[in-house]
Amino acid sequence: MDAVRWTPWEFGEMLVLAVIALGVLNLLWILSVRWWYRLRTPPPELLKARCQDGWELTVYLRRAAKRRFEEPVLLCHGLAANRYTFDFEPPYSLAHALAEAGFDCFIVEWRGIGGSRPPPRGRRWPDVTVDDIVAQDGPALIELALARTGARRAFWVGHSLGGLVGYAVAQGTHADKLAGLLALGSPVFFPPDRLIRQLIHMGNHVSWPRGLRNEWLSRTLAPFLGYVTLPLSDVIINPKHIPPSIQRKVYANMMASMSRNVLRQFRDWIDHDAFRSFDGSVDWRAGLSRLTLPVLVMGGSQDRLAPPKNLRAQYELIGSGDKKLHIFGCERGDKMDYGHGDLLFGTGVAQEVHVEVRTWLEAHATPWSEDSAASAGNAPHA
């Protein structure tokens, strides 16, 4: 039998058809993964916050079961994440835990992420920097929460980049509108970790020319997590601390994209051990010494991105007279040693992390009363 001979044109056509078929199969796989691992909780209230530059943010409101405190809580996700960082299924959801405790919770998605992805005319997602989130998104989130609750100030709770943004916002024009700041695994000092540096450099290369759209990869791999451990997982989490079923749901729902300029900014921070603006003109780390609001610094005993040694240096640098440092791990009697991501999804978060957060917030919050309601006027509240 004669061998089949393909002309270059025919081979090219077959290759294009194969790529299209694989793309369609991958899309169907991803849609199936998203449906199978969808979160089964009542949806929060959907709000919109318009920034001064015209970018519209999506904000999700979890109302207090019974409002007990005047100040709302702003829950701010980190790099390559979205609102599910804090608004997951109980008992892994800090938003649900704080709403049950009596706080109105506003969960943001930063520009370019999830519901906040579409840019306004004249703006481009690849150009987004941390500076934009600090100068535009943070103030818009604060103003929305205060307008909706009638409160004078709000608490800022951020994980990783979300905490870093909070540190920078607390040095700006809206500092007096924050009642306190809780930074969870947020490194203002960057460890001389060769592997982390190599990973961020690799991310910068593959993000050219726009950014790193990594949702498709995380959703493609999600069903296999817990059965196999991905290489380098210990950089981000302590895999033994997160149940396999939760790992699969996290990867199917929580991972998000990173703009090229945000990745470039992170590379600058890691290469030069700095926490500063994109052009280097504002040193946010130096500004920590001028903070006066209450601050709670929290982290994990085995967090390679925000190791305890660096968190202690961060704590010492903060100028506030009301500050506290808490490192979660076996040394303090916790169930397990915590990494970076298991500060959110570890098996002990409800009894350990959530309790510490709630206790600190309740100690610093203003009780909600009839007088509070009267002074809030007609502002919507829970």
Q: Which domains does the chain have, with CATH numbers?
A: 46-368 (3.40.50.1820)
**What is the distance of C-alpha 359 from the center of its chain?**
22
Measured distance CA(99)–CA(70) in Å, rounded: 13
- Check residue 198 and give its pLDDT: 83
pLDDT band at 378 (very low <50, low <70, confident <90, very high): very low
pTM of the model: 0.93
Cα–Cα distances in angstroms (integers) from residue 267 to residues 155, 192, 197, in the given order = 29, 13, 8
Q: Buried b vs exposed e over 220-250: b needs ≥16 C-beta within 10 Å?
A: ebbbebbeeeeeebbbbbbbebbeeebbbbb
Phi, psi of 36 (to 5 degrees): -65, -40
Query: Is omega for the bond preceding 209 within 30 degrees of 0, making it cis?
Result: yes
pLDDT digits (tens, 9 = 90+) for 276-286: 999 999 999 99
- Tell the residue number behind the tokens 């109105």, with chain if given: 104
- Which range of 93-107, 203-217, 252-266, 361-375 scores highest in mean pLDDT? It is 93-107
Determine the straight-line distance between the first and last CA of the chain, rounded to whole angstroms.
78
Q: pLDDT averaged over the chain?
A: 91
Q: For position 201, what pLDDT does the model report?
A: 82
Half-sphere exposure of 27 (CA within 13 A, CB side): 6
* Local confidence band at 382 (pLDDT 50, 70, 90 cut-offs): very low
Alpha-carbon span 77 to 165, nearest angstrom: 10
pLDDT digits (tens, 9 = 90+) for 37-70: 999 999 999 999 999 999 999 999 999 999 999 9
Q: Which residue has the higher pLDDT, 380 or 30?
A: 30
- Say which amino acid occupies 352: E
Tokens of 204: 């910068």
pLDDT-based confidence at residue 4 (cuts at 50, 70, 90): low
Question: What pLDDT, on a 0 to 100 scale, did the predictor assign at position 311?
Answer: 97
Q: Indicate whether 79 pLDDT > 50.
A: yes
The whole-number pLDDT of residue 379 equals 58
Residue 8 banded pLDDT, cuts 50, 70, 90: confident
Listed residue (230, 226, 254) closest to 240, CA to CA: 226
